[in-house]
Amino acid sequence: MLSFVWLSATALSTGSMRAPVGARHAAVVATGTIPEIATVPDGVLSRNTLGRPLVEQRSRPRRNRKSDAVRRMVRETVLSPSNFVYPLFIHDQPDNAQIPSMPGCERHSLESMVAEAKDSWKYGVRSFIVFPKVEDELKSNRGEEAYNPDGIVPRAVRMLKEALPESIVFTDIALDPYSSMGHDGIVEDGKILNDDTIEQLCKQALCHARAGSDCVAPSDMMDGRVGAIRDALDAEGFTDVSILAYTAKYASAYYGPFRDALDSHPGFGDKKTYQQDPANGREAYIEAELDEAEGADILLVKPGLPYLDVVHRLRQSTNLPVAAYHVSGEYSMLKAAAERGWLHERKGA
């Protein structure tokens, strides 16, 4: 294991480290003398025809890094705008509203949402997912507004598909934006009801499919919801509507800014009884096997950067597409560090 240790001037002058290093440098500067340079033992390096040192190594990985053009040619992972799904935060208001904890992001009116999607389309973005901030008076413990055909999400989907017919529109399947409790499921006696919640999620998925959603994305983490949603969609003829399963969604502090955007913080407790424990990597295999067997088309890991090991594990264990979610907290950390000059924003991104 490699570790880096900061050493103070005091540490350098004590213990087994050679104390006179600084003194010798000072002496060299003062006298203008140069210490004798050690020679490389014979046989370590040979010489090329120009008389320059030559390490006799035929394979040199640096040749594939020697210029930007070469690096681009041999790059293993190549991303384009068409690989990204653009999250659009929306609300049922005529004007946009800034999201303070997510600098540069805002809740869009439906008209502004369409304009933003059209502008992104010019740069090659083809996929969008909408996340609603629902008015408090429309929220309830059972989240009935989630499957209102005239609700904000079905209207947003219809508007996006009308404006950009070739776009891929994802919709979030979960009750937390619509819940008076701020949880992803129905609450009873302080517990989240798994199967009762799934019934509501199936209604929500069907509502979105009828509006034109191309892919529903259940983020709730209820057991068995992918299979139930798949069966509900197929029974109504929506066999072409895809499911992006939040396969490995870990309980994370990085979701804070997102919950600010949707006003969906839990009313009590936390979400650790249904979101995964960050200490459990192998558990992702269980979730992935279940989701794949239940008919998921894409598997998602969330958050992305802290769980790249899980992304790698799933990539090695499934032939389905694997997606990673760059979450609000990751975004906000990058923005905050860039604003303070601690890193270069574009290079960091």
Give which of 169, 164, 168 is closest to 115, Cα–Cα. Answer: 164
Beta strands 106-107 and 97-98, pairing class = antiparallel
Alpha-carbon Rg of the chain, whole angstroms? 27
Structure confidence at residue 19 (pLDDT): 45
In a domain, 41, yes or no: no
Q: Which amino acid is located at 102 in the chain?
A: M
Q: Looking at residue 317, what is its pLDDT? A: 95
- Residue 133 resides in a domain: yes
Rounded Cα–Cα distance for residues 29 and 33 (Å): 7
- The domain spanning residue 224 has which CATH number? 3.20.20.70
* pLDDT value of residue 267: 64
Residue-level pLDDT, tens digit, the chain, 349 residues: 333 333 333 343 344 444 444 554 455 555 555 556 678 888 888 999 999 999 988 899 999 999 999 999 999 988 999 999 999 999 999 999 988 888 888 999 999 999 999 999 999 999 999 999 999 899 999 999 999 999 999 999 999 999 999 999 999 999 999 998 888 889 889 899 999 999 999 999 999 999 999 999 999 989 999 999 999 999 999 999 999 999 998 888 777 676 666 666 676 667 778 888 889 989 999 999 999 999 999 999 988 888 899 999 999 999 999 999 888 888 888 888 899 999 999 998 8
Domain assignment present for residue 199? The answer is: yes
pLDDT of residue 59: 92
Structural domain including 110 reads: 81-348
- Classify residue 197: in a domain, yes or no: yes
Count structural domains, the chain. 1
Catalytic residues: 249, 302
User: Does some domain include residue 74?
Assistant: no
**Domain for residue 67, yes or no?**
no
Element (H, E) at 91: strand 85-91
In a domain, 333, yes or no: yes
* Total-model pTM: 0.81
**106 inside domain:** yes
Distance (Å, whole) CA 102 – CA 18: 50
